[in-house]
A = this chain, B = another copy of it.
């Protein structure tokens, strides 16, 4: 590559000063049409491309929104950048790998950035999300969106002192960060209610990890509905996502061995639900015939699955858009407090709960 031409080269060729070149691009109306054209002509002839780095340095703005995204997916599964793990086409069932939760949210962020004239910077930690990784992206954006549990809180707080930070899909909290969330509790309560009231189930177990605020809220929704119906709670531990399949298989085996198969498995995520459905199928147990299984998220994979997965659909794209929107607003006019929004969810009744698939429910 030839040396990139700079404002100096353009200025020299056009016979003006670099300031005029700069104005030509940033404040065209302040430049006489004749000189403007001369500058543009020179720029074109030279193949001039303004350096965003220099621009950002001088102006203090980057015009970019950052998203710490893929790391979310990878870290949860223990994937390494140098691994040979298939990330798409190679996998036989890659609609189980893509698009997942964060892919849809990312799309939302991307759409909103597009609409507001920002570019999206997608950064990812190479190992545990340390500060060094984040610096690479936090240092070059005007605002940062992150998924919960991907970045240590103290690092996040530090960053938020410099640029607005929004947590995507985290319950309202007291961290002082901006945040967008969904009605986890209400959605799960409604879903549980469906199993109790429509299907008359009583022995309903909740499957989900501890320690994740959003999952805890889903549990609350489940618990509330069960208690309200006078039914006993029952919980099943879950493994890290990377080991869902093995864990689900052994759990199912235990159920069978103990002869204590619940009537329904209310999972905290679609991914868990699908893993359990696989395990149940492998064990020769019919879903929804012998046991109902439900998820939470509304991924494509649940729609493609047979039986299709009854679940609670989160407005994932909207979630991303709302997050990006908050950031961009904050960049334009920094507010004092944390901005938070909660979005509604939608119950998607499909086959895995025992209902017949409805055309209207085929959609996600």
Contacts and interface: CB of A to CB of B under 8 A. Distances in A.
Nearest to A70: B114
Contact of A161 (B47, B138, B159): B47
Given A70-B110, A162-B49, A300-B300, A122 B119 contact: yes
A124 interface: yes
Given A49-B139, A70-B110, A104-B88, A95 B300 contact: yes
A161 B1 contact: yes
A139 to B, nearest CB: 4
A25 B131 CA distance: 11
Given A88-B317, A304-B300, A316-B89, A140 B52 contact: yes
Given A47-B162, A49-B135, A49-B159, A121 B120 contact: yes
A239 interface: no
A64 interface: yes
B124 A121 contact: no
A317 B88 CA distance: 6
A163 B49 CA distance: 10
B111 A119 contact: no
A81 B117 contact: yes
A98 B88 contact: no
Interface in A1-54: 1-2, 4, 25, 44, 47, 49-54
Contacts of A148: none
Given A4-B162, A94-B363, A124-B114, A53 B50 contact: no
A136 interface: yes
A107 interface: yes
A62 B158 CA distance: 23
A232 to B, nearest CB: 35
Contacts of A95: 300, 303, 363-364
A315 interface: yes
A282 B229 CA distance: 45
Interface residues of A, number: 78
Interface in A44-73: 44, 47, 49-57, 62-64, 69-71
Nearest to A51: B139
B107 A88 contact: yes
A181 to B, nearest CB: 15
Contacts of A119: 121-124, 136-137, 140
Contacts of A82: 115
Contacts of A315: 88-89
Contacts of A62: 52-53
A107 B103 contact: yes
A140 B140 CA distance: 10
B114 A74 contact: yes
Interface string A307-319: 0000001011110
Contacts of A304: 300, 303-304, 362
- 5 A-B pairs closest in CB distance: A88-B317, A52-B140, A53-B56, A52-B139, A81-B115
19 contacts: A25-B132, A44-B158, A49-B138, A53-B56, A53-B140, A56-B140, A64-B121, A69-B110, A81-B117, A88-B315, A88-B317, A94-B317, A94-B364, A99-B103, A103-B103, A103-B107, A114-B124, A120-B122, A121-B122
